[in-house]
Amino acid sequence: MFYPAKTITLKNGQTATLRVPDPARDAAPLAQYLKDVAGESPFVLAYPEERNFTPEKEEAFLRAVLDSPNDLMLVCEVDGRIAGNCHLNFFGMKKVAHRASVAIALYKEFWGLGIGTALFEQMIAAARERGIMQLELEYIDGNDRGRALYEKMGFRHIGSHPNAIRQQDGSLVDLCMMIKEL
């Protein structure tokens, strides 16, 4: 899905570009980014060893996302490096076409600079433009930074899936669900 690139100024004065990924250029860096981010936080749904995408597989995935009328992915680029990404998935079937889900991740070093807010603003704008009435997301219980961002962006907690996440130490935590009505 096409989306025009936007330049933003971060809280530290740096500039960043929000844009759709370029499969040929971004496949290898995104494959590494997904693995790295999974290792930086216990609040990502996959472990680093599960993120074994080759650049070729990631390129094919990116091409499919870009060709899909039901997906919008944006990356945030800072100084030529991917700092984070988000993915908006529009539900395609008629009964649920008024809904979309959103997911976001950032390298830890870029937390607190306004990137998450900027990415959410773009996702919300794209959802409104499409006529979406409800955005949805899930997060792992205990992700207080993420929850604060989601609440700031207007999402509200609607429930939890008990014991949905099993950590490496064997402990079980809830998967929390939030929505934002547009």
Predicted confidence (pLDDT) per residue in 76-135, tens digit: 999 999 999 999 999 989 999 999 999 999 999 999 999 999 999 999 999 999 999 999
Q: Which domains does the chain have, with CATH numbers?
A: 6-136 (3.40.630.30)
Q: How far is residue 87's CA from residue 74's CA, in Å, rounded to a whole number?
A: 7
Tell me what pLDDT residue 52 has.
Answer: 85
Residue 76 in contact with residue 118, Cβ under 8 Å?
Answer: yes
CA dihedral 81, 64, 66, 8 (to 10 degrees): -30
